[in-house]
Structure 1
Amino acid sequence: MTTTTTPRDTSAAARPASGSLRRVTALARAEARLLVRNRTALFNALLLPLVMVAFFSFVGGAGNGDPVTAATSVLASLVSLCVLFVVYYNLTTAYVARREDRVLQRLLTGECRRPEILAAAAVPALLVTVAQVLVGYGAVCLLVEPPGLVNPVLATVGVLGGTLLFTVLAAATSGFSRTVESTQLTTLPVVVAVLPFAGVFGPPGATSGVLWDVARFTPLRPVVELVWLGVAGVDADGRTLGLAETFAAAALPVGVLAAWTVLGVLAARRWMRWEPRR
């Protein structure tokens, strides 16, 4: 007696992934259109980081005459401020606005899952951040000196990891925000807590002490350290490293970034609201 077996449909496993990508892409396009229409959000995304970078470069001396240090300092400041304002502040506002308009509620009744909704809202912010960094890199190459890009992998990890971390922090913060206007207050504690210790006021090693050692464990500091390691090969103590050494030096900032991301995910699951708070 012989039996016949039907060939297994190998495409079945790929269908959920392709469906998820399709939904995220569609939602991301809608979020991008809303961002373009919102002049305040567009200003925060495009101009505010550049203004802040100019300010911090002036305060920190932007390398004090060393072109490579100056260029890397500008890029590190740009990345950290984009993550803080383009991603964190704008996404907190977006999540609150969608929640109060019952958009999140309606999306959950369809095929979209919660991670897909959060990711779709973050896509425009990520694209704006990447575009700002690329424009900033081109600007410092023309106006100052092309940075060496010792380890582009670490710089990329810093940008993407920082975007992921502050996306989940934005989701968590939105749970404490009753209205879009109130996000100016609810996001302020995070901005005030992380920005002074991010290392945007000067190159690594310029400041030392117990306080700055502790500051390495704050959420934004690992992003700046990874950019410095990736672009200039400079560690937190100001030492210039080779390619292999930068991977070893990246262990601490990557670990801190991962730990904060896990905490952010737990906080988002605990405090984010999907229904209006009215």
Structure 2
Amino acid sequence: MTTTTTPQAARTTAAGRLGALTRAELVLLVRNRTALFVSLLMPLLMIGSIRAGLDRVGLEGTGMSLVEAAMTGGVGMVLVIVVYLNLVPAYVARREELVLKRLRTGEATDTEILTGTALPSVAITLVQCVIMVGAAVAFLGVRAPQRPELLVAGVLLGVVLLGALAAYTSTLTRTVESAQLTTMPLFFVTAFGSGLFVPLEVLPERVEAVCALLPVTGVVTLVRAGWLGGADTGDLVRAGATALVWTAVAVFAVRRRFRWEPRH
């Protein structure tokens, strides 16, 4: 008597699922000219605005030149624009088109779905940061990163934090068009309160103390300390702790409140 066996359906791996989601999201990103503009050109325009604004600010006592302040603020601006401003409408669009709901019926986990949607923006962010640092050192006379490990840690922590904040902001956003409004509060608070346009060192002491507690301030502090050096251990510990706390809060909020189905 012979027995026959039927092959089991091949199961996908986490890496394979993430790769498929990332490729699909990348195709959608390339087709979306507005998203491409936000990702590739808007950060460069904002760096020009940062430098123009710093012309009116005295940087004496900050230990930074005009170009150094603009370029380190530019890294933070890339994180905010390419990760946060780009991902909020992406999550909203996928939700309203029932893409997220359909993906949850397959093998992909919730974390894989959210991560796969974010990976193209994350990749663009990392490439832009590398190019920005290299170009600033090679052509603008900016000193090479003094503590590269802090610079890398700040950028990676910023990616996770702003990705989580984008996912949470999408729960407050009804349509792709309204994302232009729901993202503005965090964008403006970060741009003017977290040291992107104006280094915190030039602000009054009480204002600086309040701004130090904002979500992205810790990330910007780590980026500047990693690139330019000069920060003491206490400041770095506080910056890292602030960024980690905000990241934990954002991830917890996403796990509890993220919407997978269209809002009615």
- Of the structure 1 ranges 181-190 and 202-211, higher mean CA displacement relative to structure 2 is found in 202-211
Q: Does 1:256 align with 2:242?
A: yes
Tell me the distance in 2 between the aligned counterparts of 1:92 and 1:22.
Answer: 25
Change in CA separation of 1:203 and 1:275 when aligned onto 2, cut-off 3 Å: closer
Task: Report the residue type matching 2:104 in the other structure.
Answer: L
| 1:126 counterpart residue number | 122
Size of the alignment, in residue pairs?
Answer: 252
Shift of 1:72: 3.0
Q: Does 1:200 align with 2:186?
A: no
Task: Calculate the aligned-residue CA RMSD, in Å.
Answer: 2.2
Q: Does 1:30 align with 2:16?
A: no
Shift of 1:37: 0.8
| 2:135 counterpart residue number | 139
| 1:276 counterpart residue number | 262
Identity of aligned residues (%): 38
| 1:166 counterpart residue number | 162
Task: Report the residue type matching 1:80 in the other structure.
Answer: G
Tell me the distance in 2 between the aligned counterparts of 1:22 and 1:41.
Answer: 25
Change in CA separation of 1:258 and 1:133 when aligned onto 2, cut-off 3 Å: same
| 1:12 counterpart residue number | none
| 1:265 counterpart residue number | 251
Q: Does 1:185 align with 2:171?
A: no
Tell me the distance in 2 between the aligned counterparts of 1:64 and 1:251.
Answer: 24
| 2:65 counterpart residue number | 69
- Alignment counterpart, residue 90 of structure 1, candidates 77, 80, 86: 86
Tell me the distance in 1 between the aligned counterparts of 2:129 and 2:34.
Answer: 21
Shift of 1:82: 1.4
- Of the structure 1 ranges 101-110 and 219-228, higher mean CA displacement relative to structure 2 is found in 219-228
Shift of 1:271: 2.4
How far does the alpha carbon of each residue in 1:74-120 deviate from its partner, in whole angstroms, 9 at most, with x for none? 33222211121111111110000000111001100000011111111
CA contact (8 A) 2:88 2:170 kept: yes
Task: Report the residue type matching 2:159 in the other structure.
Answer: T
CA contact (8 A) 1:68 1:147 kept: no
Tell me the distance in 2 between the aligned counterparts of 1:211 and 1:31.
Answer: 40
CA contact (8 A) 1:45 1:128 kept: yes
SS at match of 1:234: coil
Tell me the distance in 1 between the aligned counterparts of 2:184 and 2:165.
Answer: 13
How far does the alpha carbon of each residue in 1:196-222 deviate from its partner, in whole angstroms, 9 at most, with x for none? 111123445233310111111101111
Task: Report the residue type matching 2:26 in the other structure.
Answer: A
CA contact (8 A) 1:63 1:73 kept: no
Structure 2 segments unaligned to the other structure (5+ residues) = 1-10
Task: Report the residue type matching 2:21 in the other structure.
Answer: L
Change in CA separation of 1:159 and 1:63 when aligned onto 2, cut-off 3 Å: farther
Change in CA separation of 1:129 and 1:47 when aligned onto 2, cut-off 3 Å: same
Change in CA separation of 1:185 and 1:57 when aligned onto 2, cut-off 3 Å: same
- Alignment counterpart, residue 117 of structure 1, candidates 110, 113, 121: 113
SS at match of 1:31: helix
Task: Report the residue type matching 2:161 in the other structure.
Answer: L
Tell me the distance in 2 between the aligned counterparts of 1:73 and 1:146.
Answer: 10
Tell me the distance in 2 between the aligned counterparts of 1:35 and 1:60.
Answer: 33
How far does the alpha carbon of each residue in 1:236-263 deviate from its partner, in whole angstroms, 9 at most, with x for none? xxxxxxxxx55x5421111001000111
Q: Does 1:103 align with 2:89?
A: no
CA contact (8 A) 2:68 2:142 kept: no
Task: Report the residue type matching 1:162 in the other structure.
Answer: G
Task: Report the residue type matching 1:196 in the other structure.
Answer: F
Task: Report the residue type matching 2:239 in the other structure.
Answer: P
